[in-house]
Amino acid sequence: MTVGPSRGRRYVMLLLLLCGFSIILFRLVTLQVLQAADLTAKADRQHQKTVTFEGARGMVLDRHGKVLAMNVEVPSVFGVPTSLESPATVARHLSPVLQIRSSELERKLRQDKSFVWLARKVEPEQGRRLEQLSLEGIGVVMEGRRFYPKGPLLAHVLGFSGMDGQGLEGLERRYDSHLHGEKRVTVLQRDALGRTVFPKGLAEQAPTPGHALTLTVDEVIQYIAEKELEEAVTHTHAKSGTIIVMEPQSGAILAMAVSPRFDPNVVAALTPDRWRNRALTDTYEPGSTMKAMVAAAALEEKVMMPDSMVFGENGQMVIANTTIHDHDKLGWMTFSEVIQKSSNIGAAKTGMALGEQRLYHYLQAFGFGQRTEIDLPGEVNGFLKAPKDWGRRSLASISMGQEIGVTPLQMVSAVATLANGGVMMKPYVVSEVRDQKGRLLREVRSQVKRRVVSPNTARIITTMLEGVVTNGTGTKAAIPGFRVAGKTGTAQKIDPRTGAYSSTQFVGSFVGYVPAESPRLAMIVVLDEPQGEAWGGAVAAPVFRRVGEQVLNYLGVSKDDTVKIALAMKDH
């Protein structure tokens, strides 16, 4: 029996097999263990695509439930480049429907990707036409698009959101955590033929939508304010303008109008300058409107009484080597007349009677130099120096509304404090937050900030401010049948070239409340750089009257002289 050669062959075969299996085993270990992570990731990149879908943003409603912003599902078009045989042909078919250049679509479709967006949030009609075309490798998925159905109405407060549904400005930004919908990440797979497989009913399974906001704003009052502001800005050729209407008892903002306006549906071509909410981001030297607060402080501290006599120095007074002027050569006058006639010298003397510390204390108490903490983004502090930084003229200047920077919102909040019996309320624009089923998640109640002056002081200053409208600088703010309390303001702007007060650039304003005996509205009208006659009493007071009259009518507030007709319907 010869076994030698045969056994030798077996060993050789065994050795060869061992070598072969060792190589396979080595390769397997390399692929499955050593390079496993890299290769898995590479494979995933090739046959998986992660797409994030977000639930519809919540609606924004006015105080009566009128829709100001809402999402509507519209088609978004995507392509699967890896499954296309002829990207050029597909691009040619798509181009007229999507109104995008064929070359641009082809460039996207030639990318080595399993998913590319071709057009996001297009019109429903375009989506329907695409479905009719039924192009291989092109799909449509529904996405939420933000609509602002009222166009520019309240745009500066609402702000706007981005393409991916993130809040970028205004309430959209401030309340983004409430408004944005649930995010759902979906992993899309490719099948054996390389086609993208979408989970069944992807378009129908919308993630949970965001919460809805109800505002304190009334769309009709907002419209009245915007309409009148636009007319005033056009008529006076002002650079910009602001109107804020507020409920003094609660701090609820009824309207916040800013000019120039913008349409939040079309913001791509606009600059931030256009959508900035000037009512709370821009400061101005208020001028004479500040005298209302200085007078209230003087009354509260009893350094002045309405009938206290003040000498007007015949229209000129030298303080710290500079001369303060009044527009008229005023002599002796009562403190009430100081406010009525808006005497700078009278205001300066009132400030001096109060002294630096007390004046500063009251200005702070009225909210100047600090944010009102309204629930809108971008609010600034304004500008109020501490007494240690005041110059020799500061006491007089600040008393007549210079050397101090305020926002229109700060000023209307301060005057609303006088309207509210001396109690300052926190301004707010969102009153309720509800989930998608209408369940109340958060209710905002009016919030007292502090008492600034006594009810008696508030009552006296109201009478004095009524005098401004009946006999003083603000007669054009008078609303027939109603008692109006208010103050005019005309402030020279600082010329940035010279650093001195300009003789041609002014801010004209009027701030007040109505009906004076039981205020329903506190309102400020600010016009920046009106041309021609720039007095607040001439440019802003008439706007106050027009807005006030329409809003009071709308709210059904009775006039003093209204004949109340008793309808004894139930008796019949």
Partner 1 sequence: MKTVTIVAGVLLVFVFVWERVDVVRLGYQIERLKTQKVLLERERDQLQVKFSALTAPERIAKVATEKLGLIPPQQGQVLMVHQPGEAPSLLLPPVEQVRLAKRDSIGRESE
Footprint (CB under 8 A) of partner 1, residues 49-108:
64, 66-68, 70-73
Among 8, 20, 96, 151, binds partner 1 (CB under 8 A): 151
197 beta partners: 189
Residue 462 C-beta: closest distance to partner 1, Å: 18
Footprint (CB under 8 A) of partner 1, residues 152-171:
153
**Residue 490 corresponds to which tokens in the numbers above?**
């005309």
Decide: 278 and 308 in contact? Cβ < 8 Å: no
Residue 454 C-beta: closest distance to partner 1, Å: 25
Query: Which stretch, 215-223, 316-324, 335-343, 424-432, contacts partner 1 (CB under 8 A)?
Result: 215-223
438 belongs to the binding site for partner 1 (CB under 8 A)? no
325 beta partners: 316
Decide: 122 and 75 in contact? Cβ < 8 Å: yes
334 belongs to the binding site for partner 1 (CB under 8 A)? no
Buried b (16+ CB within 10 A) or exposed e, 418-437: bbbbbbbbbbbbbbbbbebe
Q: How far is CA 432 from CA 210, 213, 366, in A?
A: 14, 6, 27
Q: How far is CA 67 from CA 58, 100, 219, in A?
A: 11, 32, 9
Among 20, 96, 124, 455, binds partner 1 (CB under 8 A): 124
The interface mask with partner 1, positions 244-283, x = CB under 8 A, is ----------------------------------------
Residue 566 C-beta: closest distance to partner 1, Å: 5
Residue 569 C-beta: closest distance to partner 1, Å: 7
Residue 565 C-beta: closest distance to partner 1, Å: 5
3-state secondary structure of 144: strand
553 belongs to the binding site for partner 1 (CB under 8 A)? yes
Among 147, 383, 390, 501, binds partner 1 (CB under 8 A): 147
Query: Which stretch, 79-87, 198-206, 382-390, 487-495, contacts partner 1 (CB under 8 A)?
Result: 198-206
184 belongs to the binding site for partner 1 (CB under 8 A)? no
Among 201, 496, 499, 532, binds partner 1 (CB under 8 A): 201
Decide: 67 and 59 in contact? Cβ < 8 Å: yes
Among 91, 94, 142, 414, binds partner 1 (CB under 8 A): 142
565 belongs to the binding site for partner 1 (CB under 8 A)? yes
Rounded to the nearest angstrom, the gap between the alpha carbon of residue 301 and the centroid of all alpha carbons in its chain is 37
* Total residues interacting with partner 1, rule: CB under 8 A: 42
From 157, 199, 162, 203, select the one nearest 180 (Cα to Cα): 162
Rounded to whole angstroms, how far apart are CA atoms 491 and 285? 6
442 beta partners: 433
Residue 256 C-beta: closest distance to partner 1, Å: 15
- Total length of the chain: 572
Name which of 485 and 552 has its Cβ closer to partner 1. Answer: 552
566 belongs to the binding site for partner 1 (CB under 8 A)? yes
Among 117, 198, 223, 383, binds partner 1 (CB under 8 A): 223
Query: Which stretch, 31-39, 104-112, 387-395, 557-565, contacts partner 1 (CB under 8 A)?
Result: 557-565
Name which of 70 and 491 has its Cβ closer to partner 1. Answer: 70
Residue 189 C-beta: closest distance to partner 1, Å: 21
Q: How far is CA 17 from CA 20, 28, 30, in A?
A: 5, 16, 20
Query: Which stretch, 162-170, 181-189, 466-474, 549-557, contacts partner 1 (CB under 8 A)?
Result: 549-557
Buried b (16+ CB within 10 A) or exposed e, 120-136: ebbeeebbeebeeeebe
Question: Which distant-in-sequence residues (6+ apart) come within 8 Å of 544 by Cβ?
Answer: 477, 484, 486, 510, 512, 523, 525
Rounded to the nearest angstrom, the gap between the alpha carbon of residue 110 and the centroid of all alpha carbons in its chain is 42
Decide: 514 and 548 in contact? Cβ < 8 Å: yes
255: left (phi over 0), alpha (psi -120 to 50) or beta: beta
**Residue positions annotated with a catalytic role:** 288
Residue 27 C-beta: closest distance to partner 1, Å: 47
Footprint (CB under 8 A) of partner 1, residues 475-494:
480
129 belongs to the binding site for partner 1 (CB under 8 A)? no
Name which of 32 and 558 has its Cβ closer to partner 1. Answer: 558
Among 245, 411, 520, 538, binds partner 1 (CB under 8 A): 520
Rounded to whole angstroms, how far apart are CA atoms 322 and 210? 59
Rounded to whole angstroms, how far apart are CA atoms 411 and 512? 10
Among 168, 220, 319, 352, binds partner 1 (CB under 8 A): 220
Q: Which residues bind partner 1 (CB under 8 A)?
A: 64, 66-68, 70-73, 124, 142, 147, 149-151, 153, 201, 204, 206, 218-220, 223, 227, 480, 520, 550, 553-559, 562-570
